[in-house]
C-alpha cells in the first residue's frame, strides 16, 4: 500500500511539472514562442552621440573618411566626426570606400576624455 501511495504521489508531482511553462501575458500557449515587440532606434547625429551615456545604443549615418588603425576609423556626418571601432566580423564581406554612405549601429564607449562607438552592425546605404 505504501508503494502504491508513493508511486501515485510521484505521478501527480511529475504530471504537474509537464504543464508548467512560460505563459505570455496575453494568455497564449507556451508553444507559440515569444511575441515581444522589436526595438527601433532612430538615427542620431554625431554631435548628439557625444552627449549619450556609456553603453547606450546609437545609430549614425555618414561616411568613413580615414582608417586610423586595424579596426578604428574616422567617421563623419553633417554635424561632426568621431572614432568608430568595427571588428572584421561585422563587415561581413561588405566593400566600401569614402564615397559610400553607411549606417552604423553600436554602443557608445566613453573613456576619460574620449567618446567612440563600438559598432556591431554595418549597413551600406549608398
pLDDT in tens, 7-32: 566 665 555 444 443 344 444 455 55
Quick check: 44 pLDDT over 80? yes
Mean pLDDT throughout 101-107?
94
C-alpha cell at 15: 504530471
Q: 73, exposed or middle or buried, with CB in 10 Å at 0-12, 13-18, 19+?
A: buried
Domain ranges for the chain, please list them.
Answer: 2-32, 46-124
Question: In CATH, what class is 46-124?
Answer: mainly beta
Asked whether the beta carbons of 87 and 49 are under 8 A apart, the reply is: no
Quick check: 41 pLDDT over 90? no
Please tell me the predicted confidence (pLDDT) of residue 81.
95
- DSSP three-state, residue 86: strand
- Dihedral over alpha carbons 88, 115, 68, 58 (to 10 degrees): 40
Number of alpha carbons in the 13 Å side-chain half-sphere of residue 4: 1
Please tell me the predicted confidence (pLDDT) of residue 9.
64
Task: Please compute Rg for the chain using Cα positions.
Answer: 25
Please tell me the predicted confidence (pLDDT) of residue 6.
60
116/75 Cα distance (integer angstroms) = 10
pLDDT tens column, 48-95: 999 999 999 999 999 999 999 999 999 999 999 999 999 999 988 889
Amino acid at each position: 500500500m505504501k508503494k502504491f501511495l508513493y508511486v501515485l504521489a510521484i505521478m501527480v508531482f511529475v504530471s504537474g511539472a509537464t504543464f508548467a511553462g512560460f505563459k505570455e501575458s496575453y494568455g497564449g500557449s507556451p508553444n507559440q514562442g515569444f511575441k515581444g515587440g522589436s526595438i527601433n532606434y532612430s538615427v542620431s547625429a554625431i554631435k548628439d552621440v557625444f552627449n549619450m551615456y556609456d553603453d547606450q545604443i546609437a545609430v549614425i549615418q555618414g561616411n568613413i573618411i580615414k582608417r586610423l588603425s586595424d579596426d578604428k576609423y574616422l567617421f563623419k556626418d553633417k554635424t561632426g566626426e568621431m572614432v568608430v571601432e568595427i571588428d572584421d566580423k561585422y563587415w561581413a564581406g561588405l566593400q566600401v570606400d569614402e564615397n559610400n554612405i553607411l549606417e552604423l549601429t553600436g554602443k557608445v564607449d566613453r573613456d576619460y576624455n574620449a567618446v567612440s562607438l563600438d559598432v556591431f552592425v554595418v549597413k551600406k546605404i549608398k
